[in-house]
Amino acid sequence: MNLLIELLAFAVAIGVLVVVHEYGHYSVARLCGVQVLRFSIGFGKPLVQWVSQKTGTEWTIAALPLGGYVKMLDERETGGAPIPPEALPHAFNRQSVWRRFAIVAAGPIANFLLAIVLFALVFATGVTEPAAVVATPAPNTPAALAGFDGGETVVAVRTETAGESERVRSWSDLRWKLLGAAFDHKRVVLSAKDAHGISDFQLDLRGITEKDVDDDFMSRLGFEPGGGKLTVAGVQPDSAAQKAGLAVGDRLRAINGVPTDNATAFIAYVKSHAGVPVTLQVERGGPAAGKLEDVRIVPQSQRDEATGQQIGRIGAELATQVPSIDVRYGPVESLQLGARRTWDLAVYSVRMFGRMIVGEASLKNLSGPVTIADYAGKSARLGPSAFLSFLALVSISLGVLNLLPIPVLDGGHLLYYLVEAVTGKVVSDRWQLVFQRAGLACIVALSAIALFNDLARLIHF
């Protein structure tokens, strides 16, 4: 059943993104008076095709659905057959350089516009997200050095030099604002409230490098969602947790007197205390619900396969229930936020790709169709908002990828047109052929790496 959901979600995602991208090319080509011969979804043998009586365009759905194309009237692609004189003004190659530029750029732009609309729909319809409550930070992290103790709710953020604060609505909102400040190497001031009122916390992000900006970005800063309940969801046989008497449903309130409401911080503390007794403050579940007890437990020492070091484990499965908030915006604000989120993700994608080129980021960040299908299925099972957000993210990635100055991609053609606009001369067919072969080699290499990463994630090697 899960495989069927993944395949259906993947088909819908790819179908929507390809149609939008190619319709961008098609619509601007029509506006420029260019004759479109074929609009194809997929490659290979046509499964379904029909011809529009109004435009003469052949619409096709082909057997291999991983992509699509728009074929326009072009003197260079007729195989030597002459084009009737009355049709020449409608040929792509007869258009001005800026019209050709607009037609080619319209595909990626359509992907960005789709992302803006999808994000706006998510913001307007509302989404349930973790509240911006900070868990107790690990020692010596930027959050700890800023003065956070845990339990504070961040309500606003501003740069140190700017007086205007931006409201923080949720944990996701906080992450994006800190991500932008980290990219700009700024110091920010976070306004957070607790039982004593609202206080300001200065957070220095100037030392954060682009190498540090990844999926663990917030954890590196010492920020984890807090204010929730950390409970025992399972106990392994013959484990330290079982020997200490921990049971499913027990709530973990503190470890060695340090309040804990986040699984990540709790696990990190346990790992650093291999073989060292620790005392847990536990609120009992089950028949003894509400009763507080101190439980002494000795984390078992085990070798970490990733680092080779000895770490502590107690053999308990944990579940965190953090406070959530329903976030909903008005139509205008939703569009503004959708545009901003699209811009932020596009810039982040470009920077990440640049880091991979210079070796500052791993090529393992590249993903192929298998990973996309997996995340498509997962997001579809989470609900419409998650799936729309995933679709917007992939649409941005497709737009950025197509704008890269690689021949055979839209960005490569745009580069040709810029050279033509500056020099007044068309890039020769000979050089275009050379660049096209080089670009094709790049695409094949990138596709091979992405497929290898997919297989590595699938079979864990």
Answer yes or no: are the C-beta atoms of 258 and 136 closer than 8 Å.
yes
| Rg from Cα positions in the chain | 27
Q: How far apart are CA 33 and CA 419, in angstroms?
A: 24
Q: How far apart are CA 242 and CA 253, in angstroms?
A: 18
Answer yes or no: are the C-beta atoms of 205 and 142 closer than 8 Å.
yes
Tokens of 197: 């009122």
Tokens of 93: 């190659």
- Active-site residue numbers? 22
**Among candidate residues 68, 67, 61, 64, the one with its CA nearest the CA of residue 47:** 61
